[in-house]
Amino acid sequence: MSKMHNFKFYYFKSISSTNDKAKEMADQGKSNIVVVAEKQEEGRGRFGRKWSSGLGGLYMTIVLEEKNSDKAKYMTLMASVAVAKTIKRLAKLNAMVKWPNDVLVNDKKVCGILTEIISGKKNYALIGIGLNVNQKKFDKEIIDKATSMRIESNNDFDIKSVSKLIIAELDKLYSYCAFGDYSKILSLWKKYSHTLGKKIMAKTISGTYVGTAVDIDRDCSLVLRLDDGKEQKIIEGDIFIA
């Protein structure tokens, strides 16, 4: 365990799930903590999907005291920008953010983010980050879609150093969120965006939409301009380059 700013880090070689461990610790009254593992046995992504969590990756969950559930969507954007900035700084790679919660390098996924707000006796936010750091290869099902910092830069990276730099970047961005300066977070996300300006297909609960991604609004929804000129807000869903 080490301390940086007001965060305490807890490192594990292998763990069932950093999110589960973080929840357990939060329920014991701990906050401003970071649970980090080099391997997860039961990693999960959005919508309960399995997240490949083998050795070589960085898997971490940040616990923040948070009463305002509306901030969860900004936390996802903040975390993706923090990861993109860290990759750029450490690996000199042009990392970009894909709405709503991925980071890409050379059009391949290098990181996924999952944010939850837990309400109960204590209210807190969990920000889960899965970053492919030192993996040299991936399972055949995802080999065309996934990459790692190691594959793209031909360098190995120290997991602890990567985790600390991400938290330092996130800490800076969180100060904007704490003071309600959401426009700063949105503008930084747009600067790193892989999504805006592209023609995409969005699959949502209410249907599938095809259009050009023109903006993200103050609610962090993606705004599509459809072929008939109308604008469509995408609040939640999966997007693909059309």
Distance of CA 88 to the CA centre of its chain: 15
Give the contacts of 75 (CB within 8 A, at least 6 positions apart). Answer: 64, 115, 125, 127, 174, 177
This prediction has a pTM of: 0.92
Instruction: Encode pLDDT of 162-174 as tens digits.
Output: 999 999 999 999 8
Q: What is the residue-averaged pLDDT of the chain?
A: 89
Lowest average pLDDT, out of 12-16, 82-86, 107-111, goes to 12-16
Pairing assessment for the beta strands 33-37 and 7-12 based on DSSP bridges: parallel
Which one is predicted more confidently, 42 or 8? 8
Domains contained in the chain, CATH given: 2-191 (3.30.930.10), 199-241 (2.30.30.100)
What is the Cα–Cα distance from 85 to 91, expressed in whole angstroms? 10
pLDDT in tens, 55-96: 889 999 999 887 777 777 899 999 999 999 999 999 999 999
Q: Where are the beta strands (DSSP E) in 27-73?
A: 33-37, 57-65
